[in-house]
Amino acid sequence: MNAASNPQDRWLDNLLSEPPAALPDAGFTARVMTRIRLRRLFRPLILGGLGLLGAFVAMRFASLEAMAALLPTEKIAQVIDALPTINILPAPDAIPSLPAIDAVDFASPAALMMVAAMFLTWLIQEAA
Amino acid sequence: MDELESNLIARVILDDDHKAFGELVSMHQSSIRGFLLRLTRGDAALADDLAQDTFLRAYLKIGTYQGTGRFFSWLARIAYRNFLQHIRKKRPEELAGDPPEGITPGFERASNAKMDVERAFRLLSDNERTAITLCYSYGMSHGEASEVTGMPLGTVKSHIARGRAKLQVELRHWQDEMPAAEMRKKEMAS
């Protein structure tokens, strides 16, 4: 700053140059850090939510496959015959069996609890 | 920038160290909140909201801090942009309203002259208030203030000159009285 030429100007310069009064923290830093932690949690929550949605859809498909297995084959054949020109459904006995998927019961409570526990553990790790 | 501050910044950038960032917030919260309190003409609640946003954005963008210049100047630039975004969202009639009358924390204990200075600051334009605060209260050079605000160097100097002239008019009664009182003190001391 240019040096003031008279006492009044110097007085004003000195007054303006005094630093503002210090403001007590009063929890301000804690509030900022809480907002940062919440923001870090937001992203994995979105990803986790999408993952749960995908798992839910997969479970529903597994249920549908189980229901389809209960239908009598002659009923399925009637449906297939009703679509003479466009045959998008293979014959039921042509559907390959996947032992790995057949062995997993997606709707069991134990499986759901395991998935939920893994998700919560991951969330806690992300938030830490 | 002192060694402690540069160590903290490095820990945040390299290790995403939350504790280190918390210490940086603690070190600079008073200055940034004081700066925003001046910009918002004493609105403590608004200044605190803007200050929280400032530190949140600083955390998200700390990887862009290149270490040139003071860390406070980098924070002040973010704070100033937050303030500009806020006033751009406001309607003109809201901006033209009277400044808040409530007592702002930290100012209660100030001397009468300083309280009058704070009241006089509220009469300046946003740009004048910003330029004088950065260069006088926070000791920035005109160049630093120009970088923080994005205003050209000549514009910063103009705002300082105009703002200072307005403050001289508003504080004339103090200016007439205080230098004489100081002279008397010196005479008595000698």
**H-helix or E-strand spanning residue A94:** none
ipTM value, please give it.
0.77
| Residue in the structure block whose two tokens are 């700053």 | A1
Higher pLDDT, B73 or B1: B73
Determine the Cα–Cα distance for residues B60 and A28; give it in Å rounded to an integer.
18
Could you read off the pLDDT of B97-143 as tens digits, one per residue? 555 544 444 444 446 777 788 888 999 999 999 999 999 999 999 99
Higher pLDDT, A50 or B34: B34
pLDDT band for position A42 (50/70/90)? confident
- In Å, how far is B46's CA from the nearest CA of chain A? 13
Backbone angles phi, psi at B110, to 5 degrees: -70, 160
Q: Is the pLDDT of residue A69 over 90?
A: no
Determine the Cα–Cα distance for residues B116 and B110; give it in Å rounded to an integer.
10
Q: Is the pLDDT of residue B29 over 60?
A: yes
Interface test with A, best of B178, B184, B185 (most A CBs within 10 A): B178
Determine the Cα–Cα distance for residues B58 and A28; give it in Å rounded to an integer.
15
Average pLDDT of chain A is: 69
CB A40 within 8 A of CB A127: yes
- pLDDT at site B95: 53
A18 vs B29: CB contact, 8 Å cut-off?
no
pTM: 0.67
Determine the Cα–Cα distance for residues B174 and A12; give it in Å rounded to an integer.
9
pLDDT band for position A24 (50/70/90)? very high
